[in-house]
Structure formats: C-alpha cells, structure tokens
Structure 1
Amino acid sequence: MSITTTPARCVVVTGAAGGIGQGIVESFLATGDTVIAVDAVAEALSALRSNLGTDTDQLRTIEGDVTDPASWTQIATETVTSGAKEIILVNNAGISPKRDGERIPGVEVPYEEWARVLEVNLTGPFLGIQALAPLMKQAKFGRIINMSSLAGRDGGRLGGVHYAATKTGLLGVTRYFARELAPDGITVNAIAPGRIGVGMVGSVSEEVNSAYLSRIPVGRLGIANDVAQAVQYLAASDNGFVTGVTVDVNGGSYMG
C-alpha cells in the first residue's frame, strides 16, 4: 500500500522565470519544497521548466499577472491544493524600463510608464500579501520576502525614478506588515540586491556593468544564488525572530 505524503512547505515565487527568480525556484526545489512559479509569460515558464529539467508536481507553474487580483485568487487556490502546512511568498516580480539601455531622466518618464512600474513593483506585492496572508494566519505560520533593491536604499544610480520609488516603498510595506502579521507567526522581510549579473542587468551595456565594478568591494557582480541564499535564510522554518528587516546583498557597495 502506498502512502501519500504532503509537502511541508509550499513556496510561491513571482517573476519566477527571470534570472533571480529561477535561482530562487531552483534553491527551493533542491530543499524538497513544492514551488508555485508565477510569471506573466507562458513561454518563459516553459523555458524555466526545461532549464530546471523537471516535470514533476514539485514544480507548478502559473501564467499570471501580479497586478490582477484574479491571478492571486488562482495562486491562492493552487497553494491550498498543495496541501502544505507552511506557506512562503517571495514577491520577486519587478520591472525597470530603460531607454537604449539607460535610465530615463525622471522629468521625462511618461505617466503610463510610471503607473505601470508602480503597479508591478508595489501593488503586486501588496496584492500577494493580501491573498496569501489569510492562509498563513490559519496555519499560524508564514514567511513573506519582498524583493527590494539597492535602489531602494540609495535612491538609485542606474534605475529610473519609478523603480527607486517602488523599491523604497516596498521597504515601508515590509515594515508595516511585519508588525501587523507578527502575532500570527508570520515574518515579513525584504532583500535589497545590488548588481546581480542576470535578468534586468542583462539589458545594460557591458561597459556600464564594468564601470560599476569599481563600486563593489568584493570585486564582482552578484549571481542569482547570492540572492537565493538570502531568501533561504529568511524563509527558514526555525527563523521566526527576524522580521521587518532588509538584508543587503550587494558585495559591500552599500553598508547601511
């Protein structure tokens, strides 16, 4: 007679098909967790599954828009279906529009672009917390990790005003919910990556990235696993006393 077991943890990762997102997904698959990978592009999710070489139920994919409450309803339903007792939310999805690989001067940013960046980078995580926190409350356990940025710490050198504003705002969202959800066993923290050599950084010229190296004491760009390891630390089931903090992953380029 076979015995069906349920996973201890279900991890929801948004922006899962990007460079950092894929590193986070891979790290949780390696620890045996069920991962719900969310991305807006179906083809990117197919590529993610192919890149990771897995076709098991351990990795579930959802094509969804983090700015759409209906997508979050679907994600919450899939989370319940997983049967996991512990839920982790990694709000990783984000956009940083450029013009010819360079940031757009703040006075020239079109309103539509400003509004879209706020929707994805700030409203998306807010909706995610609203959708999954009630499930975490029922279990008296939860881990929420919001992906901010070095731009949210120093005002941004390479990202636009809308990117810096949203990543700074996300730190406020993190602290607010850390206080509100703490009595229910839910921690809420943020990670502020510096220059990570995947994803959005790939749209920046090699010259720009090379010049930026002089600002990084460890002498290299970050890799996706640098961020994934910080996520693992904050997501640990026995790490319930760390909440409301921002973990800087930037090779020493910012020491706040």
Structure 2
Amino acid sequence: MNIRFDERTALVTGAAHGFGRAIAIALAARGARVIACDILEAELTETVTLAGDACEPLVLDVTDRDGVQAAVAGIEAAHGTVDILVNCAGGVLGQIGRPIEEIGEADWNAIFAVNLSGAFYLTQAVAPGMKRQKFGRVVNISSGAGLGISLTGIQAYASAKAGQIGLTRQLAHELGPFGITVNNVAPGFVRSNPTTERQWEAMDEDGQKKLVDNIALKRLGSPDDIAHAVMFFASEQAGWITGQVLSVDGGK
C-alpha cells in the first residue's frame, strides 16, 4: 500500500513531541504540506527541523476557540483548505491520580479543555472548508483510557478521552454526507513524552514487567506505531471507513 499525500494540507496539533511529532514527520515524508501546532515553541521548532521544508510551525493554544478560528483562517488564506486534521493535543497537564473528593473544578475543566474541547474547536474550524470541497479527513487521538480505565487514575482524563470517542462517532454521521471521514486512534501505553516517562519510572521493575506481559506482542509500542495508524485513516484507501476507533496497543 503506497500512501501519499501530495498536494494535501495537513494540520497536526500537539506536534511538539511524542505522537504529534511522529505524525507530522510521517505526513511530511509522504508529500503533505504540514502545519505543526503546539504551545511549546522550542520543541515545535525541533519537530519542524526533523520534518523538513514541507512542515511549518504554528504556536497555538487549542483551548482558545477564537485563536483556533483565526489560525485556520490564516492557513486557508496561505495554503487553501485543510484537507487532513489530526487532533493530537492533550494529556494530563502535570496532574496525578487523586481521590475524587480532592479534584477541584479548575483541574477537571483544564483536562477537558485540551483533550475534548480542543478537538471540537479545531474540527469546527476546518469543517466549512472541507464541506465546500466535499473531502476531508479528521483523525482524533484518544487513548485506551477512553475505552476502559486510565493507568493515570485521573478521572477527567478517562472521561475526556471517552468523550472524544463519542464526538468522533457523532461527527462521522454529521460530516459523512460531505465526503469527510472522522476516525479515532486509541493508543496503548507508549513512552512518548515526559509524562509517560515519569509514569514508567514510577513503576517498580515488577510493575513494568507486568505491564509488558499484559500486552499480546510483549513489547511497548512507539510513536511511529501510532503514526502508521493515522496514515491509514488519513489516506484515500480509508475512504469508506468512518466513525471507527482503532486500538493501537500491541493487543490486550
């Protein structure tokens, strides 16, 4: 299967490291013009250096709806319609698992804002252009936490990722008549960023072994494993697939 994205414009959020960086690099390598977005400017610059001339940085807070609308308008003015949107921004924002009675309103809302509202705002902004051209690919990056429970123990994270999966299915039906597919990749545990490194290091040797032993393939995945799934959903070959959630977790 030869997947190419020549003459396509792709917008990838959360592109400063981890999954988002791998996705941006993979899209650029396959011919797409990539707009790599994040709030971490220095790390975003590293992504662009790795991805090459086909990739350009955009510092963007996905929780700022007005900022998202303005950013997409600027991209469309410079490059035309966004053909591929990958909503990868998210995470736990430095939070750790705590009992429910200790969770404040701000902590709850912050995780929902970046993991769920951000995906909604970006899709809302690119949808009109995709509708006009009768084509679009939206790929949301959720988590195994959205399908089961979260290793982090963070209630808001599990809930927001489950909500993102629900949003994926709903938008697939709303946008499908316009030739727009909306799909979801749910990664398993991957050592892909500072947060997952801290989680891994916080386990003792037995805990690390148990985690790997519970994976059918008996190994942890890599950001490239997640990027490969996104390449398929974004491709022409996935044109009759929408509203789906693909677990990329080595087998559970």
Give the TM-score, by structure 2 length.
Answer: 0.90
DSSP 3-state at the match of 2:70 = helix
Aligned residue pairs total: 242
DSSP 3-state at the match of 1:204 = helix
Change (3 A) 1:212 1:121: same
After superposition, what is the alpha-carbon deviation per residue over 1:88-143, rounded to whole angstroms, capped at 9, x for unaligned? 000000021455xx523333222211110011111100101110011100110000
Q: 2:182 aligns with which of 173, 188, 192?
A: 188
Equivalent-residue separation in structure 1 for 2:66 and 2:41 (angstroms): 17
Equivalent-residue separation in structure 2 for 1:34 and 1:19 (angstroms): 20
After the TM superposition, which of the residue ranges 237-246 and 202-211 deviates more from structure 2? 202-211
Change (3 A) 1:47 1:159: farther
Matches within 5 A, 1:211-226: 211-226=210-225
CA RMSD of aligned residues (A): 1.8
Equivalent-residue separation in structure 2 for 1:135 and 1:151 (angstroms): 32
After the TM superposition, which of the residue ranges 63-72 and 74-83 deviates more from structure 2? 74-83
After the TM superposition, which of the residue ranges 154-163 and 61-70 deviates more from structure 2? 154-163
After superposition, what is the alpha-carbon deviation per residue over 1:53-109, rounded to whole angstroms, capped at 9, x for unaligned? 63x2x211111100112221233124313535661000000021455xx52333322
- Determine the structure 1 residue equivalent to 2:106: 112
**Structure 1: segments with no counterpart, 5+ residues:** 1-6
Q: 2:155 aligns with which of 142, 158, 161?
A: 161
1:207 positional shift: 5.3
Change (3 A) 1:151 1:179: same
Equivalent-residue separation in structure 1 for 2:165 and 2:139 (angstroms): 11
DSSP 3-state at the match of 1:162 = helix
Cα pair 1:10 1:82 within 8 Å, conserved: no
Quick check: 1:203 aligned with 2:202? no
After superposition, what is the alpha-carbon deviation per residue over 1:194-248, rounded to whole angstroms, capped at 9, x for unaligned? 0112113122143526142121111111100100000000000242110000000
Give the TM-score, by structure 1 length.
Answer: 0.89
DSSP 3-state at the match of 1:192 = strand
Matches within 5 A, 1:34-49: 34-49=33-48
Cα pair 2:134 2:178 within 8 Å, conserved: yes
Runs of 4 or more, structure 1, over 3 Å off, are 81-86
- Determine the structure 2 residue equivalent to 1:143: 137
After the TM superposition, which of the residue ranges 211-220 and 27-36 deviates more from structure 2? 211-220
The amino acid of 2:67's aligned partner reads: S
- Determine the structure 2 residue equivalent to 1:3: none
Cα pair 1:122 1:167 within 8 Å, conserved: yes
- Determine the structure 2 residue equivalent to 1:88: 84
Cα pair 1:97 1:160 within 8 Å, conserved: no
